[in-house]
Amino acid sequence: MESMSKKHKLFTSVSLVVVVAALGVFGTFAAFTATTTNTGNQISSGTVKIDQHAGATTIYNVTDQKPGQVTTKCIRIAYTGSLAASVKLYTTSTITSGTDYTLTVNRGSGLTAPDATMNCSGFTSGSTAYTGDLGGFATTYAGGYDGKAAGAAWALNDTVDYQFVVTPKDDAVANNHTTTRTSGATTYVWEARNN
């Protein structure tokens, strides 16, 4: 009888565990439920985009300049990014004979016909970004010159016209210019970074 009693107890215990498990499963299906949804979630980035005027070419490329002969050329820079940005002007080139030339860069507006000739028709100066030796022009964003006076932020569709005035310096040293002296090719960069 004792073995029957142990079998009976074991059977009762297993049956009890099965019944409790079944009640738990059926109890889950008997619960009240409710949900809510929130659809269409999405994120997109803003843009930072800066360009020179259509048809723009090299700002200046002149030869056989004599001391004091001024070359004046203009370019329009337009910002079409959706995010407000700070713009800096600098060069990435190493300028050779940079102390032989002066450079003035004026910020302004009013170019009436910006094109491939880089003419300055209608330009009105508003402020000076740089004046000094061509070789002293900044070569990094951090050291660059503000795209707008006082570092004002650029917004969608802002434009600034720039006037570049380059002049060979006079040199009193005899025979110093018996061969051509050149600044080398200079690359100017306007870099926009969102605020």
Domain boundaries, the chain: 50-171+182-194
Fold of 50-171+182-194: Immunoglobulin-like (2.60.40)
Cβ(73)–Cβ(176) under 8 Å? no
pTM of the model: 0.80
Least confident of 20-24, 73-77, 107-111, 177-181: 20-24
**SS3 state of residue 23:** helix
pLDDT tens for residues 56-97? 989 999 999 988 999 999 999 999 999 999 999 999 877 888
What does the angle CA 71 – CA 73 – CA 79 come to, to the nearest 5 degrees? 155
Tokens of 168: 């060979």
Residue 90 tokens, joined = 């600098």
Residues 6+ apart with CB under 8 A from 31: none
